[in-house]
A and B are shown apart, each in its own frame.
Chain A
């Protein structure tokens, strides 16, 4: 049943491929050392991205998806820390670089990020053009005139009128501000962009416009992207592959064609069944009982077991093994492992 797409998308996911990966993350651990205890926000997470691939990181609030994004930028806010694992970017383990090297070579030039809600963090008393020119001044030492000139080009690229360099943020709508933020992430031509909830707080029509923009930029420039969102429908519209996170772990990972059509993990299943649909048969919305766990005290065994309709004895005791199914589709669930 998977014939239609194999060979196109599977290669990037299959670990044994000889594909050249832009980013390879393995066994990454990011913990927050709070006064209440250690929060294992990202716990043994691994995935890889080919050049030009769009990976979706899906999950609900508190599952660690944003922390993972911060970790890739090495910007985990204290008391958080990357405590283990590796992040290979272009073959180099960036966790081994000194902060200065990382800042000069990787952050913004190699990997850039569109932070969640960044459009509301634009400086309200500075013109858009000046804010963008600042990037070129700081990173490339360009004079302001030259910076503004490049800012115009960037604005044009993201579908804004270049004259908006003279506008202040309050003069722009939400969608336009989001475009500005995207332009800033693109400024130094990074091969990888992380977009954290790039369309939340935007209306559906604007949301679709921004998605279109991200897709066409990806296509024109061949960049890779990680799109972080809680919205599985939105991710389906853009992602080549998807990693579903729950309580700090990736529970299911694979090409979108496979994961959406044939989800294996009960959590992914539950999420997909929770999406209200406009068309097609009106099936009952299922939802998932209970609430996500507290990451200071995650449940033993599989972290999803208290909410899982199929939980067995072993799920309460032992952490599930990651099983690789066809075409690199990976699932961490005892139901599958036992089979």
Chain B
């Protein structure tokens, strides 16, 4: 295994977001016995050292089951939860870059000088970055204040960032944003409360709120999973259209691998806080390498009733272990059927964590099966 093959996120002019060795550990409360015996604090290792890069105009999908750390990753990038270690780099527009130099001075940059080192920005000044880095949450019912008019929900970001000089001008901007997300005529929707909107309309309002500040990067955390099947497609299309029209990049967080095919350029598959496979969408879906990715793809139901009488063979054993007691070595090994088929790998899989290595062009996998000797 030569070192050149190990995955390193790209950091250059085209990189919009750069993440290296990001870790988010949540400490567990210690019980009486643990305090008395001075036992070390245990951690939920939600995100345990992950790296990836999102290029400008790209949609990068983070895929995994619940509890794999995908949502925490999205939040940590925006510093909605504080990461414990790692580097997050973001390439802002020139205006924001100037603003950041003004408020933070010259040492908040990565070595490229065009990327802000997000972890070094004081929390007070994160506000300027968040103008360009927005988030859309999963639950459109929970992410709007039930007692706030749509108009006021959309005006708030403008007021906070002091965009627009008068109320009239801001209302005009709100109307424009509503038109962009196809809630027309906007006057019909501005004066409504969230409960007067359907789920799909709410998610459109949430998206309008995210784009009203003209961001360049949006973390979309399962934006479709709470919506009805027939409405999902519309919102998905809207997101693709906005990306093209407004030049956005997304970090698209989802549990639905099939969906990534319709929106993403690249995928990273996460398992228990680590990326196990990363690469272009077509390569991962047509040629999954990691036993976990294979199992996930196999488990996804297809709308074809011809196999309904058979039991589905699952290529994985047991259930996801707790993120507190992560198995040693490859964290997937207790569930891996490839390991059962290749018992000679046991002294690697059970002991050493596999690195993400390149198996075909741009397609990386963290699995000892693909180790080159």
A residues at B contact (CB < 8 Å): 54, 60-61, 173, 175-176, 203-209, 211-212, 215-216, 230-234, 236-240, 256-257, 260, 270-272, 274-279, 282, 285-289, 291-292
Q: Knowing A204-B296, A274-B232, A287-B233 touch, does A237 contact B319 (C-beta < 8 A)?
A: no
Q: How far is the CB of B144 from chain A (nearest CB, A)?
A: 17
CB < 8 Å: which of B200, B257, B303, B307 contacts A275? B303
In the assembled complex, 15 residue pairs joining A and B whose CB atoms fall closer than 8 Å, in A order, are A61-B228, A173-B319, A175-B319, A176-B319, A230-B229, A236-B301, A236-B303, A236-B308, A237-B308, A260-B305, A276-B256, A278-B261, A279-B285, A287-B231, A287-B237
Given the known interface contacts A173-B319, A236-B308, A289-B234, the answer about A276 and B262 at a Cβ–Cβ threshold of 8 Å is yes
Residue among A175, A205, A209, A212 with the most chain B CB within 10 A?
A: A205
Query: C-beta contact mask, B12-45 vs A, less than 8 Å → 1, else 0?
Result: 0000000000000000000000000000000000
Q: A60-B230, A216-B311, A232-B229 are in contact. Are A282 and B305 (CB under 8 A)?
A: no
Name which residue of chain A comes closest to B315, CB basis. Answer: A205
Cβ of B304 < 8 Å from any Cβ of A? yes
Contact A212 B229 (CB under 8 A): no
Known: A208-B301, A230-B229, A232-B229. A276 touches B258 (CB 8 A): yes
Quick one: which of A232, A275, A276, A282 has the most chain B CB within 10 A? Answer: A276
Q: Is the CB of B303 within 8 A of A212?
A: no
Given contacts A204-B255, A292-B228, contact A237 B312 (CB under 8 A): yes
Contact A276 B261 (CB under 8 A): yes
State whether A275 touches B229 (Cβ < 8 A). yes
Q: Mark B305-331, 1 if CB is under 8 A from A, else 0.
A: 111110110101001100000000000
Please report which residues of chain B, range 187-205, place their CB below 8 angstroms from some CB of chain A when the two chains form the complex.
198-201
CB distance from A182 to the nearest CB of B (A): 16
Residue of A nearest to B233 (CB): A287
CB of A209 within 8 A of CB of B314, answer yes
The reply to whether A238 and B308 form a contact with Cβ atoms under 8 Å apart is: yes
- With contacts A215-B311, A287-B237 taken as known, whether A239 is within 8 angstroms of B305 at the C-beta atoms is yes
A278 touches B319 (CB 8 A): no
**Shortest distance in angstroms between B102's beta carbon and chain A's nearest beta carbon?**
45
A237 and B307 contact, CB distance less than 8 A: yes
B1 to chain A, nearest CB (A): 30
Q: How far is the CB of B264 from chain A (nearest CB, A)?
A: 11
CB distance from B8 to the nearest CB of A (A): 29
Residue of B nearest to A61 (CB): B228
Task: Report Cα–Cα, A203/B314, bound state, in Å.
Answer: 13
Q: Assuming the A-B contacts A205-B65, A240-B308, are A287 and B303 also in contact, with contact meaning beta carbons closer than 8 angstroms in the complex?
A: no
Contact A205 B258 (CB under 8 A): no
Instruction: Confirm or deny: B125 has a beta carbon within 8 angstroms of a beta carbon on chain A.
Output: no
Chain B interface residues toward A at CB < 8 A: 65-66, 198-201, 228-234, 236-237, 255-259, 261-262, 285, 295-297, 299-309, 311-312, 314, 316, 319-320
Q: How far is the CA of A274 from the CA of B303 in the complex (A)?
A: 11
Please measure, in the bound complex, the distance between the C-alpha atom of A208 and the C-alpha atom of B297, giving whole angstroms: 11
Known: A230-B229, A285-B262. Is A256-B305 also a contact (CB below 8 A)? yes
19 additional A-B residue pairs with CB within 8 Å, beyond A236-B308, A287-B233? A176-B319, A204-B255, A204-B300, A208-B314, A211-B301, A215-B309, A236-B304, A237-B312, A257-B306, A274-B230, A274-B232, A275-B229, A276-B258, A277-B302, A282-B262, A285-B233, A285-B237, A288-B231, A292-B230
Closest residue of A by beta carbon distance from B259: A276
Given the complex, which residues of A lie within 8 Å of B301, measured CB to CB?
207-208, 211, 231, 233-234, 236-237
CA distance A237 to B305 in the complex (A): 6
Residues B262 and A287 in contact, CB atoms below 8 Å apart? no
User: Across the interface, which residues of A come within 8 angstroms of B285, CB to CB?
Assistant: 278-279
Residues of A within 8 A of B230 (CB): 60, 270-271, 274, 287-288, 292
Q: Which residues of B have CB within 8 Å of A275? A: 229, 258, 303
Which residues of chain A are near B296, meaning CB under 8 Å?
A: 204-205
A291 and B231 form a contact (CB under 8 A):
yes
How far apart are B189's CB and chain A's nearest CB, in angstroms?
Answer: 13
Q: Please determine whether B299 and A208 come into contact, CB atoms closer than 8 angstroms.
A: yes
Q: Find B258's partner among A173, A209, A277, A286 (CB 8 Å cutoff).
A: A277
In the assembled complex, how far is the CB of residue A261 from the closest CB belonging to chain B, in whole angstroms? 8
Which residues on B sit within 8 Å (CB–CB) of A208?
A: 299, 301, 312, 314
For B319, list chain A residues within 8 Å (CB).
Answer: 173, 175-176, 206
Cβ–Cβ contact B302 & A233, under 8 A? yes
Let me know if B257 and A278 touch, CB within 8 A: yes
Q: Is the CB of A60 within 8 A of B306?
A: no
A216, closest chain B residue (CB): B311
* B233→A274 contact, CB < 8 A: yes
Chain B residues near A260: list those with CB within 8 A: 303-305
B204 to chain A, nearest CB (A): 11
Cβ of A204 and Cβ of B65 under 8 Å apart?
A: yes
User: Which among B231, B295, B320 has the highest number of chain A CB atoms within 10 Å?
Assistant: B231
What's the minimum C-beta distance from B270 to chain A, rounded to whole angstroms? 12
A311 to chain B, nearest CB (A): 16
Question: Contacts A204-B65, A278-B257 given: A286-B233 contact, CB under 8 Å?
Answer: yes
Q: Judging by beta carbons under 8 Å apart, are A203 and B255 in contact? A: yes
- Which 4 residue pairs spanning A and B have beta carbons closest together? A287-B233, A256-B305, A288-B230, A203-B65
Given contacts A203-B66, A285-B262, contact A60 B228 (CB under 8 A): yes
Q: Which residue of chain B is the closest to A232 with respect to CB atoms?
A: B303
Query: From residue A171, how far is it (CB to closest CB) to chain B in Å?
Result: 11
Interface centre among B66, B303, B312 (most CB of A within 10 A): B303
